[in-house]
Amino acid sequence: MIKNKKVIYADFTNDESRFIVEYLNDQHHWQPVFFHSVNKSRSWAKERFPNAVFHDLFAMRQSNFDYSGIGKPVPIDGKILNNLSQYELSYLCWLEDTSGWNFSIYQRRRYYYDVLKYWNTVIHHLKPDLYVAYTWPHLPSDYPLYLLCKHCYDIPILFVNPVPLLDDKYYLMADSIEDQSGIVDALYLSDEKLELSDVTKKYLEHLRSKKATIPKHVADYYSKLHQLYRKRFLNVLRLLKMILTGIAFKKSELSFKKNTQSWECDASKLTNIEYVLFRWQLTRKNKRLKNFYKRMIQWPGYDQKYIYFPAPYQPEVLSNLAAGRYEDVFLILDMISQNIPKDWLIYYKEHPNTFYGKPVI
């Protein structure tokens, strides 16, 4: 008799991802015991897996923890905190507010401990065998679950690295945010004879040629981003619709903190219209920043010895949580500056998305 594996699933929100859950359950007996996703997935989860617990990720991001389907809370202890101590600061820096001063370090730490306590309770009562995520487990609500599984309870983790490879729809499965190449390294270091596929050869030939182009997924992203900004008048129409329907004055699901009051207090959370205005303000600041950047840049001198430093976009999982203690770009630049010969230069190029950010609506 094949034993069912009890699985926590996170971020399975579309038909494609839901098919994976159903397939693994039907063909491999991977039984969902917990879903951490957006509310639009609740009806599917309850209909298909009625015995599984469901928790809305936006509710958890706003400190609304539902213990009703789990059991009595199980607090974290000193051993857990010691095991996770090297990841704590990166997580606290990951939490956002509207000014940089509204979410104190003490409030952030309290929220972090509350999320850890919730997931510690889930693990204690449901006793999962696996944690499976459809993307990096990097949100404020699910990253602590990843930390507990990975670094405290030795519960296996699988997630899809959403960055496509070979300029096509090829993706890697991973089991570590800190070492996402570990699965590939294990294969490279094995005795297995490795040969390049025709697809890989074709990709490398194109990449090395003078006709090399920007990867499709990057080009598609910037194309959509530019289209959104060219259609800014639609944002005004959407805002009017939000006001007329009353949605504008309801609490936003986003977790930016707007004042110094306790995060558990509704008064500290943005309404939808406040969130839109906050994003418009960021957009204006990004424009001013771009103009300032243009005044400062200079063309590199290729006859000099130099290191090219393309800055990462932040906040982002690969340049923050995955980087850990090296998430601070200025720290990296200091280290490089200290260790290169005096006649070498560092050419720093800002990430272009810094000047665009997230669309307003």
- Least Cα distance to 349 among 298, 303, 314, 315 occurs for 298
Residue given tokens 């059991």 in the structure block: 71
What pLDDT, on the 0 to 100 scale, is given for residue 230?
Answer: 60
In the chain, domain spans: 5-166+168-188, 216-355
Q: Residue 194 corresponds to which tokens in the numbers above?
A: 């490795």
Residue pair 61/139 in contact by the 8 Å Cβ criterion: yes
Alpha-carbon separation of residue 205 from 46, 172, 201 (angstroms): 49, 22, 6
Distance CA 95, CA 284 (A): 22
Alpha-carbon separation of residue 355 from 282, 285, 286, 293, 350 (angstroms): 10, 9, 5, 9, 9
First to last CA, the chain: 52
What pLDDT, on the 0 to 100 scale, is given for residue 168?
Answer: 92
What pLDDT, on the 0 to 100 scale, is given for residue 71?
Answer: 94
CATH code that applies to domain 5-166+168-188 = 3.40.50
Model-level pTM? 0.91
Write out the H or E segment, with its range, that includes residue 173.
Answer: strand 170-174
What pLDDT, on the 0 to 100 scale, is given for residue 231?
Answer: 59
**Helix 232-245 and helix 272-296, axial crossing angle in degrees, nearest 10:** 160
What pLDDT, on the 0 to 100 scale, is given for residue 124?
Answer: 98
Distance CA 246, CA 18 (A): 32
Can you spell out the DSSP letters for 17-55?
Answer: HHHHHHHHHHHH-EEEEEEEE-GGGHHHHHHH-TTSEEE
pLDDT per residue rounded down to tens, the chain (361 residues)? 567 899 999 999 999 899 999 999 999 999 999 999 999 999 999 999 999 999 999 999 999 999 999 999 999 999 999 999 999 999 999 998 999 899 999 999 999 999 999 999 999 999 999 999 999 999 999 999 999 999 999 999 999 999 999 999 999 999 999 998 888 888 888 888 889 999 999 999 999 999 899 899 888 887 877 776 665 655 677 778 888 888 888 888 888 899 999 988 889 999 999 988 898 888 889 889 999 999 999 888 888 999 999 999 988 999 999 998 899 999 999 999 999 999 999 999 999 888 875 554 5
Reduced to 3 states (helix: H, G, I; strand: E, B; else coil), residue 94 is helix
